[in-house]
Amino acid sequence: MMWMYNIPLVLLGIFVVGYTMALSMGGYVLLHRVFPAKRSDETKNLAISFIGIVCAFHSLLLAFSSVLVWRDFQSSAQAVSKETNSVEDVYRDLLRYDGPQARAAATTLVTSVRVVVTEEWARMAHGKESDKARALAAQIFQEAGSLDPKAPREQVIFAEIFRHLNEFMDNRHERLHDAQSAMPAMF
């Protein structure tokens, strides 16, 4: 079902409307050839009323589904923004901690962000994540965990690094989860 997201919206709209019209008109012609009948004004008015009710119901379903998808889209944007902020916080804390291990973790963090932007975003369009990005996130935790805070200043910064790393992972999971939302199949 994810292949529909690769079709330009204009072409998808033309296809859906054209398919619906062709199916409706074909069904109308076929039904009236098989079952010819005389139609009175009363029958026509009843049919028009029924079609109006069906169209209104379908429009409401489509509107509610669109609102839900829009809400998911906004939630995804917030998750990405929070993830970006937590990455910035981790990077800043690692640079403040200083030392070769902290710089290595900061370098891995930058590499992770590049992999997310260049590789994982494309995979998210298909509801998948990047194995490389996941491995780099785990490596950041490992490198940050290998820091050995001795001074009180380092201990405070170390605690902040892990607080922000946990926020980063929570926001990453939320972003990946939101990437799997889609319009209901009936539409």
Q: Is there a domain that residue 59 lies in?
A: no
Tell me if the pTM is above 0.75. no
Which two three-digit tokens encode residue 116? 């997310």
pLDDT (0 to 100) of residue 161: 92
- Please, are residues 109 and 140 in contact by the beta-carbon 8 Å criterion? yes
Q: Is 57 domain-assigned?
A: no
Question: Which amino acid is present at 148?
Answer: D
Local confidence pLDDT in tens for the 187 residues of the chain: 677 778 888 888 888 889 999 999 998 888 888 887 777 788 888 888 989 999 998 889 888 888 887 887 788 788 889 989 999 999 999 999 878 999 999 999 999 999 999 998 888 888 788 899 999 999 998 999 888 888 898 899 999 999 999 999 998 888 888 777 665 555 5
Q: Is residue 87 in a domain?
A: yes
What is the pLDDT at residue 132? 94
Helix (H) or strand (E) holding 50: helix 41-97
Residue 126 forms part of a structural domain: yes
Inside any domain, residue 88? yes
Looking at the domain assignment, is residue 101 inside a domain?
yes
Domain count, the chain: 1
Range of the domain at 93: 81-187
**Is 174 among the domain residues?**
yes
134 found inside a domain = yes
